Structure 1
Amino acid sequence: MIIYGLKTCDTCRKARRALPSAAFADVRDDGVPSAVLQRAIARFGDALINRRSTTWRELSEAERALPVEALISAHPTVMKRPLIDDGEGLHLGWDPQTKAALGV
Structure 2
Amino acid sequence: MTVYGIKNCNTVKTAMDWLKQHNVTVDFHDYKTKGITAAKLKEWSKQVGWESLVNKRGTTWRQLDESEQAKVTSEKAAIDLMMEKTSVIKRPLIEQNGKVIALGFDEAAYVKVFKK
TM-score range, shorter chain: 0.7 to 0.9
Unaligned 5+ segments in structure 1 are none
Residue 27 in structure 1 maps to residue 31 in structure 2: yes
The aligned length equals 104
SS in 1 for 2:91: coil
Amino acid paired to 1:85? E
8 Å contact 1:4–1:32 — kept in the other structure? no
Over the aligned positions, Cα root-mean-square deviation in angstroms equals 1.9
Unaligned 5+ segments in structure 2 are none
Pairing partner for 1:37 from 16, 34, 41: 41
8 Å contact 2:90–2:104 — kept in the other structure? yes
8 Å contact 1:27–1:76 — kept in the other structure? yes
**TM (normalized to structure 1)?**
0.84
Distance 1:58 1:17, change over 3 A: same
Identity of aligned residues (%): 33
Residue 59 in structure 1 maps to residue 68 in structure 2: no
Amino acid paired to 1:48? L
Aligned to 1:84: 94
